[in-house]
Amino acid sequence: MEYQGHAYNEISVEQFCQVIDLLHPCMDDYLYIYDFLNDFFYVSPSAVERFSMPSNCFHNASKNYSMFIYPKDFKNLKADFKKYISSMTAIHNLEYRLVDQNGKPIWVNYRGYVVRNREGEALYIIGCINEIGRQQKADNVSGLLSESSLHHYLDETSHQNGIILRLGLDDFKEINEKLGIEYGDMILRKTAECISECISPHQQLYRVVADEFIIVDNTCNSTQEAQLLYDKIQGRIHAFVEENRYEATYTVSGGILSWNHSTEHSYSNIMKLSEFSLQKAKRLGKNRCYVFNPEDYTKFLRKKKLTKHLRQAVYNDFQGFEAYYQPLINAETGVLYGAETLMRFTSEQYGSVSPGEFIPILEETGLIIPAGRWILHEALRACKNIQMHIRDFRININVSYIQIMKSDIIEEIASAITYYDIAPSSVVLELTESGVLDSDIRFAKLWECMREKGVRLALDDFGTGYSNFHYLYNLKPDIIKIDRSLTTQALNNEYEFKLLSLMSGMIHSMNLHMCVEGVETDQELSMVLDLSPDFIQGYYYGKPCSYEEFLEKYVLPQSKMKALITNV
């Protein structure tokens, strides 16, 4: 069609500005007009709230543009305007960045129609500025309103009581990977339909963040009703999976959050707490619902802060970390045989933190790799020094599965043994049974290399897993450490004791050594000795203690005793 830009040249700039004022309350985008001849710019008033513009109307526009157009894009815009002035091009279409009120660049699409006089001279350009990155109000895949609409709805109902049920598909990524993204989109649509069939007219449903949905109910704040709704949705989705002949088997987890008008329920807070609730349900095993609990959230925040604290400590030369040592006793002689090295952490802010709390954090974050390297050197240094008093002293060092999988632990151990000039046979690596995946090539390589170098290997916490004998067959460790929980059960139950006795016989028949953990009393020691263990560890002989205390309590007395015997 022939360009008819001159058809609007009789409409004045003032009239166009009046149209912009009339329409801008009805639009999310920003209307504008730029008068080439008078260098005048007019834009929807709402643009001034969003971008760093001096006003919604100003002269000397070609200079003032630099105040709100991203510097790297300013030249492109000027060149574009010159092109439209000099040519007969009708449509202006360019993507560039504006600067918002916080000084951050925002990508926009700047489109406009050039109005010319009958001689073809450009008079002005009128059009629309659209934020490219702005979230859509609706989701075309599920057919539901999206998160931006949820934001608006929650802001409007901020004075009311309410409840949120946040739903998330479990392992949805596997569906996309195995069956394709299009199939995954179909599952999202069907899931949205299943949920829609279960909710009441007064309940609002939105799709947020990939495979998650949110239901808002401002008519009540009963968590029991929300739980019943979750159960209903769970059943409907299970029915769909059956109807679909199990082509894609999946489940849904849910997090429930309630509030009333007296509590803080800003949009960001609601989204944060509902996300915590959903993720808590997934951590508890998936395919279940969790009701927000402030105590759990407090623990979550403590873990988050402790994680940051531990990271700072690790990279501040392990400030607050200390190596403790618990004696290992030769069961036959009752003499100190070696020690297990244990990590401890203390800080002014948290005091003494339980290993059961901080070790999992180190493993989850990968900080166990540098921390494990540190404890390795502490242990070997201590062992080297103690061997000056007890020549055959051995040191046990715990190794995390994370270290095996994500670090060059073989080289680290070999280098440390060489550096401290210590016999490899003096070192025993302990690996917790629950962390073993012996089919992994990296684990098999560690096991083989350490054995070749003469380092001994111990399987820790034996009896707490579900495939103990499988590990014995495949790994053939040097030492089996019987966990205290199993020891305690056996000492209080005749049947359990007989099972442990049979296990002891089997371990020795395989030419392996057995260490019994958790012995605390004379009675327990007497019964444990009937099992013919090779080594014993527990509070009966001593609690974990610092290196200095370990020397004073266990090493020096035994060293003096040996000296007396030698002199005799």
Q: Which of 330-344, 374-388, 529-543, 554-568 has the least mean pLDDT?
A: 554-568
pLDDT at 294: 95
Mapping DSSP onto H, E and C, the string for 242-259 reads HHCCCCCCCCEEEEEEEE
Is residue 470 very low, low, confident or very high in pLDDT (cuts 50, 70, 90)?
low
User: What is the number of domains present in the chain?
Assistant: 3
Model confidence pLDDT, tens digit, residues 480-525: 999 888 888 888 899 989 989 998 998 899 899 999 999 999 999 9
Please tell me whether residue 110 adopts helix, strand or coil conformation: strand
**What is the average per-residue pLDDT within 527-544?**
95
Structural domain for 452, as ranges: 318-567
| Residue 566, pLDDT above cutoff 50 | no
Of 110, 131, 152, the residue that ends a domain is 131
| pLDDT reported for residue 79 | 80
Q: Does the pLDDT at position 468 exceed 70? A: no
Domain identity same for 175 and 243: yes
Say if residues 370 and 426 touch (Cβ distance below 8 Å).
no
Q: Identify the band that residue 466 occupies on the pLDDT scale cut at 50, 70 and 90.
A: very low
Residues 325 and 206 both lie in one domain: no
pLDDT category at 135 given cuts 50, 70, 90 is low
The pLDDT score that the predictor gives to residue 161 is 83
Predicted local confidence at residue 261, as pLDDT: 55
The answer on 436 and 340 residing in a single domain is yes
Has residue 307 been placed in a domain?
Answer: no
Strands of 212-217's sheet in order across: 138-139, 144-145, 203-208, 212-217, 162-169, 252-259, 289-291
Mean pLDDT calculated for residue range 270-296: 96
Q: Give the CATH number, domain containing residue 513.
A: 3.20.20.450
In this prediction, residue 196 carries a pLDDT of 95
Convert the pLDDT of each residue in 371-390 to its tens digit.
999 999 999 999 999 999 99
Residue 302 lies in a domain: no
Residue type, 23: L
Assess whether pLDDT exceeds 70 at residue 440. Answer: no
What is the average pLDDT value for the chain, to the nearest integer?
88
What CATH number is associated with residue 286?
Answer: 3.30.70.270
**Residue 144 within a domain:** yes
Same domain for 123 and 34: yes
Task: Establish if 53 belongs to a structural domain.
Answer: yes
Clarify whether residues 402 and 457 are in a common domain: yes
Do 462 and 507 fall into the same domain?
A: yes
Q: Quick check: is 299 in a domain?
A: no
Cβ distance 471 to 491 under 8 Å?
no
Q: Is residue 313 part of a domain?
A: no
Query: pLDDT-derived band of residue 172, with 50, 70 and 90 as boundaries?
Result: very high
Instruction: Tell which of 107, 131, 155 closes a domain.
Output: 131
pLDDT digits (tens, 9 = 90+) for 309-351: 999 999 999 999 999 999 999 999 999 999 999 999 999 999 9
pLDDT tens-place string over residues 347-364: 999 999 999 999 999 999
563 compared with 192, residue with greater pLDDT:
192
**How many beta carbons lie within 10 A of that of residue 380, not counting itself?**
22
Residue that the structure tokens 């926009």 belong to: 108
pLDDT confidence tier of residue 8, bands split at 50, 70 and 90: low
Q: Is 40 helix (H, G, I), strand (E, B) or coil?
A: strand
Task: Please give the average per-residue pLDDT across 195-201, as a whole number.
Answer: 95
Q: What angle do the packed helices 494-509 and 484-491 form, to 10 degrees?
A: 130
Residues 419 and 288 in one domain: no
- Same structural domain, 472 and 439: yes
Is the domain of 393 the same as that of 512? yes
Q: CB neighbours (10 Å) of residue 117?
A: 13
Tokens of 337: 């045989």
**Model confidence pLDDT, tens digit, residues 51-65:** 999 899 998 988 888
CATH at 12? 3.30.450.20
- Asked if 126 and 162 sit in the same domain, the reply is no
The partner residues of 517 in beta bridges, in order of sequence, read 537
**pLDDT for the residue numbered 2:** 42
327 dihedral zone (left: phi>0; alpha: psi -120 to 50; beta): beta
Give CA–CA dist 232/214, Å, rounded.
Answer: 15
What pLDDT score does 565 carry? 44
Contact 57, 42 (CB under 8 A): yes
> Alpha-carbon distance 19 to 147, whole Å?
31
Which one of 68, 100, 131 terminates a domain?
131
For residue 69, which of 47, 94, 99 has the smallest C-alpha distance? 99
- Quick check: is 521 in a domain? yes
**CA distances (Å), 433 to each of 112, 370, 481, in order?**
68, 22, 10
Q: 1 vs 276, which has greater pLDDT?
A: 276
Contact predicate 487/493, CB 8 Å: no
- Residue 411, Cβ density class (10 Å: 0-12 exposed, 13-18 middle, ≥19 buried): exposed
Residue 474: pLDDT band with limits 50, 70, 90: low
Portion of the chain with pLDDT greater than 90, in percent: 57
Q: How many CA atoms lie within 13 A of 420 on its CB side?
A: 23
- Kindly state the tokens that stand for 462: 């034996």
297 found inside a domain: no
Q: Does the pLDDT of residue 433 top 80, yes or no?
A: no
The pLDDT value recorded for residue 250 is 96
Q: Are residues 443 and 398 in the same domain?
A: yes
Specify whether 256 is located in the same domain as 356: no
